[in-house]
Amino acid sequence: MSEKKFDNIDRKRVIRVVEDYFKVKLSKIGRRSKWLQDDVGRNYWILGGYGEWHGIPEDMMNAEIEASTEGVLVVAIRKKNSMDIFAGGVDELVTGKAQLYRASKTTGDYQFTYETKGNHLILKQLPIFSLEKINSLSYEIEEKKKDIAVNEVKKLLDGMSKEERTQLLQSIDEKKP
């Protein structure tokens, strides 16, 4: 297991924190795991990683421009044994999108770098835009291994019929003292 990659297991942990903090239930939009929406249609862009660089895909930015949802940007800074999670509204980011770096003028991500100052994450390309720290959590290797195992069990259960799951749970209950 690579310790230097922000993966979907890390993202799922961040999503749980965001759901608890904002008291929402999030669901994925399309194929992107970083683009989610709550039950009232507000966009949540959940980015994370070890480095100080991120990109927002053009289709996500355009969707927020076309139908302002008062979206939320979340950036999780992953460290070896912890994560700092920052969040804030995307309105100023969308308005100042021209100041973000573009890999291509016709297509590509809106890219940015950031720095942290206390409980704030500030975009270097758009200094008027900042996010506030909403959580700092311990995330040791053992906790991640547990999350990976739970994710694998969920995948297995999802592949079973309702009857198969019922039989499995009954057999587990029968083995309990």
pLDDT single digits (tens) 97-156:
999 987 666 667 899 999 999 999 999 999 999 999 999 988 777 777 777 777 778 778
For residues 169 and 54, the model is more confident at 54
* Bridge partners of residue 44, in order along the sequence: 36, 72
pTM of the complete model beyond 0.95 = no
Sign of CA dihedral 12, 15, 21, 23: negative
The residue extents of the domains of the chain are: 8-139, 141-177
**In this structure, what DSSP letter does residue 164 have?**
H
Asked if 112 and 102 count as a contact pair (C-beta separation under 8 A), the reply is no
pLDDT for the residue 159: 85
Q: Which residue has the tokens 């003028």?
A: 105
Asked if 48 and 14 count as a contact pair (C-beta separation under 8 A), the reply is yes
Asked if 54 and 111 count as a contact pair (C-beta separation under 8 A), the reply is yes
Which are the contacts of 147, defined by CB distance < 8 A and separation ≥ 6? 9, 12, 13
d(CA 75, CA 87): 6
* 8-139 CATH choice from 3.30.2290, 3.30.230, 3.40.210, 3.40.50: 3.40.210
Q: What is the pLDDT of residues 54-96, one digit of tens each?
A: 989 999 999 999 988 999 999 999 888 889 999 999 999 999 9
Q: What angle do CA 109, 112, 118 make, to 5 degrees?
A: 145
pLDDT for the residue 103: 65
**1 pLDDT more than 60:** no
**Across residues 9-17, what is the average pLDDT?**
92
Q: What is the pLDDT of residues 147-167, one digit of tens each?
A: 777 777 877 888 888 888 888
